[in-house]
Structure 1
Amino acid sequence: MLPDLKFPDVKFPDLTSDDVFRLETKRLWLRWPRASDAAAIAAFAALPEVARMTAAIPHPYPAREADRFILQARAENAAGAALHLALSQKTGARPVIGLVTAVMTETGEAEIGYAVAPQAWGNGFATEAVKALVDAIFNLSAAPRIRANSRLGNLASQRVLEKAGFSHIDTGLDLLPARGGLHSCNRFCLERTDWRRSGLERRMPPMAQQSRSATETLAEAAAEALGE
């Protein structure tokens, strides 16, 4: 049974609150996690080299932690409080090779995080997924900016953010609950205005469950909310 969950007033649109929602990139599907993904998620989340760079993955990884995560992720997605998506390749057996998450804050900004299985490192999957998530946030919400952090020394994660257009803001102590307290992190930010000016802006293609007009309507609504 899930604990009582408190969700922020600022939410993702109804479109993302249905488990048929998904994003497509050249090589990946980004979709809601499913119960059948538990073994694949546990296989990489339990590795110390993955967990130690994250704020939320515990180590040692408890039994059935992946099941708990999936239940909570789906509840938060359904409530519009977050967007937790599993990454799977379009080819082969298509097991889950990573996760990306976006959370809306009370101030209307978005915060993202991500983790990729070590066997998939070095192939650009994290960058590809983060770019798709950024596009979804800016196309489907009125968030003025997206924030992210990376543990000091995690150069691979920093490169992912830089390739996705994020700028380094500062370095400081951030709370990483699963790591037991405050840790030195580099903080990054991508402003909506920079996303547009730098040529990073990409319209979302229509997904299997929606028409092009639905995508355009959501994008127009976000622009209207920003007074554009």
Structure 2
Amino acid sequence: MAKFVSLEEAVALIPDGATIMCGGFMGCGNAHKIIDALSKSGKGNFTLISNDASQPGGPLGEDYYGVAKLVHNGQISHLIATHVGLNPEVAVRMHDGSMKVDLIPQGSLAEMIRAGGAGLGGVLTPTGVGTIVEDNKDFVLGKVTVDGREYLHMRPLRADVAIICGHKIDKAGNVWYKGTTRNFSLPMATAADLVIAEADEVVEIGEIAPENVHTYGVFVDYVVDGGKA
């Protein structure tokens, strides 16, 4: 059963230099309160695995939205993502050498995380064959031909910590995501040594119907009650 912790306790669980997975898409679905607390922690040198780097402005007028705070503060030394065009600071930091950036096709990244969570040796995909994707030897293990078609063998991805956010999380750590906010969080919750979930709302066990549980509590180590944080 997941243990409920404060924001401060959650941030204390994340060490300097950690590889962190963050669910969400352009900030939607980020665990905003945990990320905000982490941005103020003084910790850094993180490797961030996320779909993107969010964007400088948020929907409520925030200066930096979600993981964009970590980028702005220089806390990310290595970003592994699928697209970064809406956050100009990524390009600046990439070109000045303060942040390494690896761009991976979106579907491939999701499958690489899924493979890491499932204990598989990677994933075969035709995406990127014959393109510069092939040149990234940190993530492309080689080529495989199946039935006459070439595939890239992409390595599995895991992290030290996954930070996810659920709209409703029960007291056993079972998670229900609202709408598309589930993106990337499902495989990320299986592919990290430590999973910290932020709840928009904490509910009693049984209030989430079993068939509506998206991430099972067995995968969640700690929960922050974001509604009270």
Is the pair's TM-score, using the shorter chain for normalization, greater than 0.5? no
Report the structure number with the largest CA radius of gyration.
2
Q: TM-score, normalised by structure 1?
A: 0.31
**More helix by percentage:** 1
Q: TM-score, normalised by structure 2?
A: 0.31
| Higher normalized contact order (CA 8 Å, seq sep 6+, divided by chain length) | 2
